[in-house]
Amino acid sequence: MHVVTRARALTTLVAAACSSQILQPAATAAESDLVTALLERTAQNRVANEAAVRRQTERNAFSAYSGEPNAMRQVLSTDGAWLYLTQREVAQMTRRGELACAADGTCRVVDRGAAPLALELPELKVLTCNESGRNCKFK
C-alpha cells in the first residue's frame, strides 16, 4: 500500500508540473526562428502533404481486398489520382504498354505517347476442367 501511495504522489507531481509547464525550457530566439520557418514551410506544403497522405491511406486500405475474386485493382494515373480497374483491364492495358506494374503489385499508367511497346506478350488463357476436376486444358 505504501508503494502505491508513493507512485500516485509522484504521478500527481509530474502531471501538475507538466500542466503548469514548469518543466518546459524557455524558447530562445534561434529556436523560435527555426520553429517559425518550419511552420511556414509546413503551411506551404499542406496541400501536397495531404494529397500524399490520402494516396498512401487509400493504397493501404485498398490492398487488403486485392486477393478476392473479381476484386478491382488500384492503379495510379498520370495525374496522381487512383483508378480502379478489373484484373482483365489491367492485363489488357499492360499488354498494350499502357501500365507499368512493380513486383509488389502496384501499377501506374504510363504515358508513352504514340510509341508502341516493343514487347509481344501472348493472350491470357483460362484453365478449364471437367466436373470431376480432371482433363484440364488452357483455352
pLDDT in tens, 59-115: 676 555 556 667 778 888 888 888 888 888 888 888 888 888 887 777 888 876 645
Cell of 45: 506544403
Considering the chain, what percentage of its residues have pLDDT values greater than 90? Answer: 0
Rounded to two decimals, the pTM is 0.37
Q: How far apart are CA 118 and CA 57, in angstroms?
A: 35
